[in-house]
Copies of this chain bind each other. A is one copy, B any other.
Amino acid sequence: MNDMNAIEQWGIFEIALEGPQTGNPFHEVELKAIFAYHHRQIEVDGFYDGAGVYKIRFMPDSPGRWKYTTQSSCQALHGKQGEFTCIPVSQGNHGPVRVRNRYHFEYADGTPYFPFGTTCYAWIHQGDELEEQTLETLKQTSFNKIRMCVFPKHYIYNANEPVYYPFERSETGEHDFMRFNPEFFRHLEKRVAQLRDLGIEADIIIFHPYDRWGYASMDAEGDYRYVRYLISRLAAYRNVWWSMANEYDFMLSTKPMAQWDAYFRIVQEHDPYQHLRSIHNGEFEMNYDHTKPWITHVCVQHWDVKKVKEWRKKYRKPVINDECEYEGNIPLPWGSITAQELVHRFWIMVTNGGYAGHGETYLHPEDLLWWSKGGILRGESWQRIGFLQTIMKEGPDDGLEPMDASWEWTRVSGGMNGEYRIFYFGEHQPAAWSTGLPKGVEYTVEVIDTWNMTITLLEGTFKDAAEIPLPGKPYIALRIRPVKTSAKK
């Protein structure tokens, strides 16, 4: 039963064991494994995968020799021992993402990670053809995160039945919340793995209120079982983030506030890798207290992107405004901003030391709206968001801190790191600029047209409060770098 193949660092080592099929193996059989690396021990939950097969998945974080022993309430699964070799990473595998420099992110190998994500809530419930098209589209973009629901979605423009159901389902459509559907989860895992191979983080939305099947109104015990099962299956995927819910606050009547803390406790206790954790609000007041220690970063839904400095100050964690409204034209305010406006909001979030998320909601005769179903992108913001991402990657590894709180920098946006600066003027069209510049060094200035995606190096170098000539049109940014290190901070 031991897999002796070499496993890549942050890859998945999987143990499969034969066991009983009688009773309800999902809940009646306890199974875990203790993985050991030198003197370090890591406890990992197993899960029942149907048809008498029990599995334990593990993501090793260090190259070298790993050993394990299983523990189970079932004799057939208990005391199994084995070992495997973890080998150094291959190209493109940087490990899971974690927080860096308080407000920013990096991969486990230290490579900076700047989240530029999109949203396809129910993309894994659309059938292979559309799902493969979604992956193909993602490959053309530079999005490195995607917000996606585990459960299927019932909402406007989302009337179709899913291909797979997460629980066993009778012919009359009744769900047995005591029995998971392994086929459903294998499909989810396949998509998560494909995202991983594209370098995309899967921001897994564990609960959401858009439901007609009863998944949003299971009782607390059912929810806890589901969260544990999900963790046991998915945590070993290095590209997983836990988004406890989308619009959790629209479910407070059935899932009161204390219950949300309980979900987080379960995730915190059972996820051996401590993947990133957050929760997404529906109301503008973010009533879930994001200062709670199990929240690794702040997930925001808010159109008013200039609040980013406030959120940073209040929570002192990375801020991702995953829903600063979507590019589109549906008859709802959250899904009808112009591409230019979404790009504008991205620039404001990012130059103020936060991050933002993309979504697209253009009406479609067959209700194929990217924001929910995936498919193809029809808009014009995604390319510009990719352009901004490139600029961030070329900037300081530790990310940007917002310019001070003085009056100028609430009107225009500026981010800095040492002598490095990015200014973004948005709806302002000054013919020149001379405020907030680095002092005492010679620097170069590039004029960035955020919409037309051009970068123009200004002739010569500048010093102190030099007057920098600008094109006098809106949506312009400046990249200011000290001469000695212009190539990279």
The residues of A with any CB-CB pair to B shorter than 8 Å are 283-284, 303-304, 306, 325, 329-334, 336-338, 340-341, 363, 407-408, 410-412, 425, 427-435, 467, 470, 472, 474
* Contact status B429-A336, CB under 8 Å: yes
* Contact status B474-A427, CB under 8 Å: no
Residue of B nearest to A325 (CB): B411
Out of B331, B363, B411, B470, which one reaches A433, CB within 8 Å?
B331
A207 to chain B, nearest CB (A): 21
Specify which chain B residues have a CB less than 8 angstroms from the CB of A330 in the assembled complex. 430-431
* Contact status A331-B411, CB under 8 Å: no
* Contact status B341-A411, CB under 8 Å: no
* Contact status B333-A428, CB under 8 Å: yes
A191 to chain B, nearest CB (A): 31
A284-B407, A408-B333, A411-B325 known; A474 vs B429 contact (CB < 8 Å): no
* Contact status A337-B427, CB under 8 Å: yes
* Contact status B284-A332, CB under 8 Å: no
Residue of B nearest to A306 (CB): B304
* Contact status B338-A411, CB under 8 Å: no
Specify which chain B residues have a CB less than 8 angstroms from the CB of A334 in the assembled complex. 411
CA A429 – CA B363 in complex, angstroms?
Answer: 12
A and B contact pairs by CB, cutoff 8 A, 13 listed = A284-B407, A284-B410, A303-B411, A304-B306, A330-B430, A330-B431, A331-B431, A332-B435, A333-B408, A336-B425, A336-B431, A337-B428, A338-B474
A175 to chain B, nearest CB (A): 32
Specify which chain B residues have a CB less than 8 angstroms from the CB of A429 in the assembled complex. 329, 336-338
CA A470 – CA B328 in complex, angstroms?
Answer: 13
Count this chain's copies in the assembly: 2
CA A329 – CA B428 in complex, angstroms?
Answer: 8
A202 to chain B, nearest CB (A): 28
A164 to chain B, nearest CB (A): 33
CA A304 – CA B410 in complex, angstroms?
Answer: 9
Specify which chain B residues have a CB less than 8 angstroms from the CB of A329 in the assembled complex. 429-431, 472
Residue of A283, A331, A407 most packed against chain B (CB within 10 A): A331
Specify which chain B residues have a CB less than 8 angstroms from the CB of A431 in the assembled complex. 329-331, 336, 363
* Contact status A412-B474, CB under 8 Å: no
Specify which chain B residues have a CB less than 8 angstroms from the CB of A338 in the assembled complex. 427-429, 474
A427-B338, A474-B338 known; A432 vs B284 contact (CB < 8 Å): no
* Contact status B363-A411, CB under 8 Å: no
Out of B304, B306, B336, which one reaches A428, CB within 8 Å?
B336
Residue of B nearest to A344 (CB): B427
Specify which chain B residues have a CB less than 8 angstroms from the CB of A337 in the assembled complex. 427-429
A304-B306, A427-B338, A431-B363 known; A411 vs B333 contact (CB < 8 Å): yes
CA A435 – CA B336 in complex, angstroms?
Answer: 14
Residue of B nearest to A471 (CB): B329
CA A341 – CA B435 in complex, angstroms?
Answer: 22
Specify which chain B residues have a CB less than 8 angstroms from the CB of A363 in the assembled complex. 431
* Contact status A336-B430, CB under 8 Å: yes
Out of B325, B336, B427, which one reaches A341, CB within 8 Å?
B427
CA A293 – CA B217 in complex, angstroms?
Answer: 53
Residue of B nearest to A431 (CB): B329
CA A329 – CA B474 in complex, angstroms?
Answer: 10
Out of B333, B425, B435, which one reaches A412, CB within 8 Å?
B333
A411-B325, A428-B336 known; A467 vs B331 contact (CB < 8 Å): yes
Residue of B nearest to A341 (CB): B427
A349 to chain B, nearest CB (A): 15
> Given known contacts A330-B430, A332-B408, what 16 new A-B pairs fall within 8 Å (CB)?
A284-B407, A303-B410, A304-B306, A329-B430, A329-B431, A330-B431, A331-B430, A331-B432, A331-B433, A331-B435, A331-B467, A337-B428, A337-B429, A338-B427, A338-B428, A340-B427
